[in-house]
Amino acid sequence: MSVIEQIESFKFGHTPIETKALVNVGCGFDIPTGSYVTGKYGESILNGGCGYFVVVAGGANNYKTAVMFYMMTTLMERLGYYTSGNFYDTEENAFIESLNRLLLQNPNVTDPEMINTNRLLITDKVLYSGNEFFEKLKSDLEKKALDKKNKITLPFVDRLGNNIRSHVPTASAIDSISDFSSDDVDEQLDDNELGSSKQLTAHMKQGLVKTNMIVRIPQLCGKTNNYMFMTAQVGSKIEMNPMQPSPKQLTHMKQGEIIKGCSSKLISLANVTWAARNARVFNNQRTKMPEYPKTNVDGVEGDTDLMAVNYQTWRSKTGPSAYTLELIISQKDGLLPTLTEFNLMKTSNRFGISGNEMNYFTPFLPDVKLSRTVLRSKIDTNERLRRAINISSEMCQLKELHRHEDVMCTPEELVQDLVAKGYNIEQLLDTVGWWSPLEANQQTPFLSTLDLLKMRAGTYHPYWMSNT
C-alpha cells in the first residue's frame, strides 16, 4: 500500500454539522460563551449563548429555575414558532401559574400562550417517572433523527459557502437532575428501612441510572438539534478524613463542593455549567427599597423583590471558565435581561453610560433621560432603549474579554463616528443582534454588535441596507 493509499484509508470524514449552533439569549450569556463567525453576506454572527447541553447549578434560593426557564423560552422564541419543548419537574414544584407569569414577563417572548397551547409541555413525576420521561424523550429524538425532510436553514455556512441545514429544533428541560429518579429505584427505597444497606445500594443504582442518561445526551441532542437544559443542586461533601480532603472536582469549585445526586460527568459533558453564588437583596442603601423600582412610586422600605445573584461559568467548552455575571432577578417577574445588562455596564466604570449618577443616558438615545427610579419602567416600554443597552453591554464584555481589540471603541465613539459616516442611529437600533433560522421569517433586519464596530472601521456595510 502506498503512502497516499494509506492516508486515504485512514480518513474518517468531517462531522456533517460544521458549526454547532449556540442560540443567542441575551442577558450577558452570549459573548462569554461564544465567538463570531462570518455569514453568507459578510455579516458577523455571534455563535454563543445556549448549546445543546446547559446546566444551571446552585444552592437553594438562587433562582436556578427562573434562569433556566428564561434561557429555554428565549431560545424557543428565537429559533421560531415551530420549536416545541418539554419541561420535566422532578421536584413537583412547577406551578403552571408561576411559569406562565415568568413567560409573560420575558421581554424576548412574543408567544405568551406557549404553555396554554401545549407548545411547551410541563410534566412531572406524577405523570412520568424519571426513566419513563427519558425513554420517551430518547424515543422521540431517535424518530426525529430518521426524518430527512423536516429541516430548517441556519444562517451559518459550510466550507463551500452554503447555508447549513439542520433538524427542526426542540428543547427539553429537567428541573432538577439532582432529584431525578427511576421507578424501580424508588420502589427499592420505599421497601427498605432508612439507612439500610439495601437503601445504600439503591442510591448507588440511582447514580448509575443518571450517569447512563447523562452520557447519552450530547449525542442524542447533537444529532437531532435538541437543546437540553438541567438545573442541579450544589451541596458539600462529607469528608471521611477532614485532614485529607478530596480534590476539587473543578478548579473553580470550592473545596468539598459537589453536585448533589450526580457524578462529575454532568459538568464534564455539558457545553457550559453556570453556577449560582451569593444571592443578595438588591436594594438602594439610602431608601432601603429596590435599587431599580418598577415604577417611581413602587416599593416600600424593606422590599426584597429585586435580587442580585452572581453566576459563574464553572466549566465552558466555548468560552472562559470562571467568568462571573451578576444577574438581576425579580422574585415576581423572573430574570430581567436588560437591567442585568445595564448593571454590567454600571459596574464596569459606567461603560456606555453618559451623564452623572443622578441623571444619565445612553449615547445611542441622548434624548431619553434616565435615572434610578425611572430606568426599569423605560426599559419595559422602549424597545430602542433595550437594544441600545444590549449593544453597549456586549461591547463592554468584548472589551473585558479582550476580543476584537482592532475595532474596539467606546459607545460614545461608535455613535459619533457612525453618524459622521451618514448612518441613522435610530435605523441601526431598529434591528436585532441575535440570529434565527431562515424559516422563522424574522422581519427585523439583523445587525450584530461586531457588525456595528466593523461599520465604524469601514470594513462592513449591512447587506440589507442601500449604499446611498
In the chain, what is the straight-line distance between the N-terminal and C-terminal CA atoms, in Å?
A: 62
Let me know: does 337 contact 75? Beta carbons within 8 Å.
no
Write down the pLDDT at residue 204: 59
Cα-based distances in Å from 416 to 57, 269, 350, 352, 423:
42, 45, 18, 13, 10
This prediction has a pTM of 0.91
- Which tens digits make up the pLDDT trace of 150-188? 899 999 999 889 999 999 999 999 998 988 887 765 555
Who's near 268: CB < 8 A, 6+ residues apart? Answer: 315
Of residues 247 and 343, more confidently modeled: 343
Of the pLDDT bands very low, low, confident and very high (cuts 50, 70, 90), residue 63 is: very high
Let me know: does 109 contact 103? Beta carbons within 8 Å.
yes
Most confident of 2-6, 173-177, 232-236: 173-177
Nearest-angstrom CA–CA distance, 260 and 59:
10
What φ, ψ does residue 338 adopt, rounded to 5°? -70, -35
Grid coordinates belonging to 275: 453556577
For 15-77, give the secondary structure using H, E and C: CCCCCCCCECCCCCCCHHHCEEEECCCCCEEEECCECCEEEEEECCCCCHHHHHHHHHHHHHH
> How crowded is the C-beta side of 134, counted as CA atoms within 13 Å?
20
Of the pLDDT bands very low, low, confident and very high (cuts 50, 70, 90), residue 102 is: very high
How crowded is residue 418: how many other Cβ atoms within 10 Å of its Cβ? Answer: 18
Nearest-angstrom CA–CA distance, 133 and 183:
11
Grid coordinates belonging to 450: 461586531
Nearest-angstrom CA–CA distance, 273 and 375:
31
Question: In 3-state terms, what secondary structure has residue 411?
Answer: helix
Burial string for 429-449 (b: 16+ CB within 10 Å, else e) reads bebbbbbbbeebebeeebbbb
Write down the pLDDT at residue 264: 81
Q: Which domains does the chain have, with CATH numbers?
A: 19-457 (3.40.50.300)
Write down the pLDDT at residue 301: 73
Average per-residue pLDDT for the chain: 89
pLDDT higher than 90, residue 4: no
Single-letter amino acid code for the residue at 257: E
By CB neighbour count within 10 A (0-12 exposed, 13-18 middle, 19+ buried), where does 100 fall?
middle
pLDDT higher than 50, residue 462: yes
Nearest-angstrom CA–CA distance, 275 and 265:
16
- Which tens digits make up the pLDDT trace of 193-215? 545 555 555 555 667 888 889 99
Single-letter amino acid code for the residue at 460: Y
Cα-based distances in Å from 357 to 114, 372, 373, 389:
40, 9, 12, 17
Write down the pLDDT at residue 148: 86
Single-letter amino acid code for the residue at 52: Y
Nearest-angstrom CA–CA distance, 303 and 192:
46
Most confident of 120-134, 192-206, 274-288, 417-431: 417-431
Cα-based distances in Å from 439 to 151, 152, 261, 362, 388:
9, 6, 40, 34, 27
Who's near 169: CB < 8 A, 6+ residues apart? Answer: 79, 80, 83, 152, 225, 226, 227, 437
